[in-house]
Amino acid sequence: MASSENLFKNFFQETGAITRFTGKFFWQWFKPRYETAELIKQCYAIGYQSLSLVSITAFIMGLVLTIQSRPTLVEFGAESMLPAMVSVSLVREIAPVITALICAGKIGSGIGAELGSMKVTEQIDAMEVSGTNPFKYLVVTRVFATMMMLPVLSSIGMAISLYGGYLGVNIKGVVSWQLYWREVFEALSFGDVIPTLIKSVFFGLAIGLIGSYKGYNTMRGTEGVGQAANSAVVIASLMVFIIDLIAVQITDLLRLT
């Protein structure tokens, strides 16, 4: 009984601390001075250096989904619907979520470990003493860069996964380049793409905030750095699924109206 009470207590304390951390982020976001140079540096580190991993994963994902879906559609005589089905599945759900999970593992853990090591080596305290705002310089730039880069990575991941789908369609059939993309674009609409990009922004917000929170509040020396990186990945991945669930419900309600 006592352990369950402590579990609930720790959960609510952690939720409250993350909420306060989020409020401080938005307050510091709109407050000058703006660390533009650091923001650009973080956009490069978060976006460009994650591009290869996202691209490879997206290509394999589109290829495998197409190959696995073909036998089922063949049974119902609907093989011609394969490009449309694959494109809708990839754009609406699979590509942005998988991209966000990859970024939660790579970016979330990286931010948590980096800020955690700065915390335990007292570099953050040294920045405060020197007159620099460490929260704005370290946290705001990383979270904002993650919010900016996730939609870009998701868009690139969607395009590459659709190309992988094209190759998958042609493994056991022959579909021209023009016909494949015509089927893809006829199946998609702005109502599929825009919600995907919007929820990718929230994926980036959650990943950046949780990674920064865990790293910025690291304790217990080098052991705490590893725990911060690990917990950042776990909680950020969970938040990706929760945000996706909420986004799907909102999108369905908007489509019904």
pLDDT digits (tens, 9 = 90+) for 131-159: 778 888 889 999 999 999 999 999 999 99
Inform me whether the pLDDT recorded for 4 exceeds 70. Answer: no
Measured torsion, CA atoms of residues 25, 203, 109, 113, in degrees rounded to the nearest 10? -10
Q: Cα separation of 115 and 229, whole Å?
A: 10
pLDDT digits (tens, 9 = 90+) for 221-239: 777 788 888 888 999 999 9
pLDDT digits (tens, 9 = 90+) for 40-95: 999 998 988 889 999 999 999 999 999 998 888 888 877 888 888 999 999 988 99
Provide CB contacts within 8 A for 173, sequence distance 6+: 79
pTM: 0.90
Question: pLDDT grade, residue 160 (50/70/90)?
Answer: very high
Residues in the chain: 257
Q: Cα separation of 158 and 243, whole Å?
A: 19
pLDDT in the model for residue 58: 94
Q: What is the SS3 string spanning 1-21? A: CHHHHHHHHHHHHHHHHHHHH
